[in-house]
Amino acid sequence: MSQPSPRVIATDLDGTVVRSDGTISARTAAALARVERAGAMLVMVTGRPPRWMADVATAAGHHGVAICANGAVLYDLHTETVLETREIEPAVIAEAVGRLRAVAPGLRFAVEHPTGFVFESTYNLERLDVEALGGRSVDPADLAHRSGTKLLAFDPNGDPDVLTATAVEAVGDLVTVTHSSKRALLEMSAHGVTKASALAALCAEHGFGPADVTAFGDMPNDLPMLTWAGVSYGVANAHPLVLAAVTHKTSANDDDGVAEVLERLYP
């Protein structure tokens, strides 16, 4: 006897359903659309800020809702509007930056807001045009001018796993620290805010619990969500910590691994 289809699908985007070239394949888009058509809830759970969601909303046919900024923002993909935010207070941003500068002087900082971000002039993200990405350069003293959805810290010469461990020890009592790329780019949310905390709150509003959720991911920032969900999948290209933690594995993002599973779950 076949098992009933999951009532909730929660999936990371970049590296999971988004291919290495930045696109979502037609096959994956069609598989995502199956979820809502079957009466289940589709949740995109991503480190991306809301302003980077328009292409995803279009590719996914405006299906589902999104948890952005690693749990700090709830975003409606149907209408492309921010529904709720959980932000880091200015005093906490200032304290976290001060502590991190003391233990890792090479860090460059930025602060995400729902509609943009501010950054130090040295925050060049390997020469990417941060202004074109929605950023505005400010004096370092003005980074904590107002609350933010994410505090970002970048070390062009650092190891992401080592830097994350250092940051957790230094500021783990102030903010939630994670990373989601192969660069030494830390992503910090308000204390206790993770992909899992936001997903759990959203599911509770609809009467769902962990046993109702099947989740997909590829990087350490997905781990809270993957370990909370009743069923979890790591794509083949996932970080080793993810592959060690999930209950199942699927093909790589470039091979439509999530679509492969969704087609079986929602025939």
User: Cα(251)–Cα(191) distance, rounded to whole angstroms?
Assistant: 33
Domains in the chain, please, with CATH?
Answer: 8-85+194-265 (3.40.50.1000), 90-190 (3.30.1240.10)
What is the share, in percent, of the chain residues with pLDDT greater than 70?
94
Q: Report the pLDDT averaged over residues 241-255.
A: 97
Task: Output DSSP code: residue 2.
Answer: P
Rounded to two decimals, what is the model's pTM? 0.86
The pLDDT of residue 2 is 52
The pLDDT of residue 56 is 79
pLDDT band at 1 (very low <50, low <70, confident <90, very high): very low
Task: Output DSSP code: residue 3.
Answer: P
Decide if 219 contacts 239 (C-beta within 8 A): yes
Decide if 105 contacts 213 (C-beta within 8 A): no
Q: Would you mind telling me the total number of residues written for the chain in this entry?
A: 267
What order of strands is seen across the sheet that includes strand 65-68? 81-85, 73-76, 65-68, 41-45, 8-11, 213-217, 231-235, 248-250
Q: Report the pLDDT averaged over residues 214-219.
A: 97
* In the chain, beta strands by DSSP E: 8-11, 41-45, 65-68, 73-76, 81-85, 108-113, 116-119, 135-137, 150-154, 175-179, 185-190, 213-217, 231-235, 248-250
The pLDDT of residue 111 is 95
Q: Note the pLDDT tens digit of each residue in 115-147.
A: 888 988 877 655 455 555 567 778 888 889 999
The pLDDT of residue 127 is 47
The pLDDT of residue 157 is 86
| Weakest mean pLDDT among 124-138, 164-178, 180-194, 239-253 | 124-138
Question: Considering the chain, what is the average pLDDT of its residues?
Answer: 90
Q: Report the pLDDT averaged over residues 229-245.
A: 97
DSSP notation for 148-170 = BSEEEEE-TT--HHHHHHHHHHH
Is pLDDT of 37 > 80?
Answer: yes
Instruction: Name the range with the highest mean pLDDT among 28-37, 57-66, 241-250.
Output: 241-250
